[in-house]
Amino acid sequence: MNAPQEAALAVPTDLKPGTPFGSGIVVSYRFEGTRPYLLIAAPRSSDLEEVTHQDAIETVKALTINDVAGWTLPNRGEALDLYEILRPAVEDNANEPFVRDYYWTAAPYAGDPASAWCQSFTTGRQYGSHASTHCRARAVRRLFI
């Protein structure tokens, strides 16, 4: 589980999915244990393309957007929220928040320690993929309320 990140700003509790906020896009309100948080996706312009799982983890961890740090890869539940809420309606539309492709999650694949979970933004399914596979990656932030 990722370490909680404290909010550096007041977090409204009435933001709608897709709203720009906190150097990204509002995805959903979630809970880590009993602590509520707002899930923010980095903008599409920050997508990593064709990276291994380890490269995705390291690059996202070092990411700063508009002087905001604290980004990480989404866990599996968050990745599913990203798909369900922000999935692309049409193929290859630059105005869509996501590309129809595979995106890494932070979650290792339990069946093979050399693999991790990916979220398909075409089918909505999650797949275990070898960590050396090249997929896209999108950073997220957790703003605790």
Residue 17: C-alpha distances to residues 7, 49, 140, 143 (Å): 18, 24, 14, 14
Sequence ranges of the domains in the chain: 47-138
Please give the chain's pLDDT, 145 residues, in tens.
Answer: 455 454 446 777 788 998 999 899 999 999 999 999 999 999 999 999 999 999 999 999 999 999 999 999 999 999 999 999 998 876 666 778 888 999 999 999 988 989 999 999 999 999 999 999 999 999 999 999 8
Q: Give the rounded distance of the alpha carbon of 125 from its chain centre.
A: 15
**What's the CATH number for 47-138?**
3.10.100
Instruction: Give pLDDT, residue 36.
Output: 92
Instruction: Give pLDDT, residue 14.
Output: 82
> Residue 127 corresponds to which tokens in the numbers above?
């797949």
User: Which residue shows structure tokens 């602590």?
Assistant: 35
Instruction: Give pLDDT, residue 7.
Output: 44
Instruction: Give pLDDT, residue 138.
Output: 96
b/e per residue 64-90 (b: at least 16 CB within 10 A): ebeebebbbbbbeebbbbbbebbbbee
Instruction: Give pLDDT, residue 9.
Output: 60
> Residue 118 corresponds to which tokens in the numbers above?
């990916």
Q: Is 133 left (phi over 0), alpha (psi -120 to 50) or beta?
A: beta
Instruction: Give pLDDT, residue 109.
Output: 95
Instruction: Give pLDDT, residue 124.
Output: 95
